[in-house]
Amino acid sequence: MELKPALEAVLMVVDEPATEEHLAKVLQRSRREVADALRELADEYDVQGRGFELRAVAGGWRYYTRPAYAPAVEGFVLDGQQSRLTQAALETLAVVAYRQPVSRSRVSAVRGVNCDGVMRTLLQRGLVEEAGTEPETGAILYRTTNYFLERMGLRGLDELPELAPFLPEADAIEAETQEGVPSFDPDAPDSEDADDKTEL
């Protein structure tokens, strides 16, 4: 089989980014051959101005709609319906992304509100996952997933933008999180849950 058409056929059916190692094993080629062919395909699509592109994200390769044609796909697939994360969920996800692995109580301390409901939503959507326990307290730690990287279009966490330009008070936030974690009434209504039910 010709390598490039074979790669295109396989990548058309993957539901998550395929690694070069896996593709090389399946197609019985060397990783170098596969890596070179993938880059050549990506360049060819760019030159041709195709409606899709081949990206290296989350440790693998996958086809994506070219950003310029996103409105067309959105109109067809979503038919005007959009499922967006709430502001609370986005803030919580950002805290996990930049401070991972991190416990729910530490995320709540940074945000200043109980984030249990939002964390459940992020877990259900596959954007965060458990990452062991904190030795001192036994609290469950959380981190972002490969799906998070994929949705953000990142190859790895090192591509997250620097916080300094966007958070002038980053030092104050850091100092606050080193203090005791605020206590929350477990019997009180979870305002974040309410947000999830109405907005997510």
CATH number at residue 14: 1.10.10.10
Query: Where does a domain end: 47, 77, 107?
Result: 77
Question: pLDDT tens, 82-113?
Answer: 567 888 999 999 999 999 999 998 999 999 88
How many domains, the chain?
2
| 82 lies in some domain | no
The whole domain housing 27 covers 3-77
Of all residues in the chain, what percent carry a pLDDT higher than 70?
78
| Long-range contacts formed by 192-196: CB under 8 A, 24+ apart | 192/88, 192/113, 192/114, 192/115, 192/116, 192/117, 192/118, 193/116, 193/117, 193/120, 194/117, 195/86, 195/88, 195/89, 195/117, 195/118, 196/86, 196/89, 196/117, 196/118, 196/120, 196/121
Question: pLDDT tens, 105-133?
Answer: 899 999 988 888 899 889 988 899 999 89
Alpha carbon distance 100, 107 (integer Å) = 10
Let me know: does 65 contact 51? Beta carbons within 8 Å: yes
Residue 189 has pLDDT above 50, yes or no: no
What pLDDT does 179 receive? 46
What pLDDT does 185 receive? 44
* CB proximity list for 122: less than 8 A, separation 6 or greater: 89, 92, 93, 96, 128
Query: Where does a domain end: 77, 98, 117?
Result: 77
Alpha carbon distance 43, 4 (integer Å) = 12
Residue 177 has pLDDT above 90, yes or no: no
Asked if 62 and 105 sit in the same domain, the reply is: no
What pLDDT does 36 receive? 97
Residue 10's pLDDT band, with cuts at 50, 70 and 90, is: very high
Of all residues in the chain, what percent carry a pLDDT higher than 90?
48
Neighbours of 73 (CB within 10 A): 14
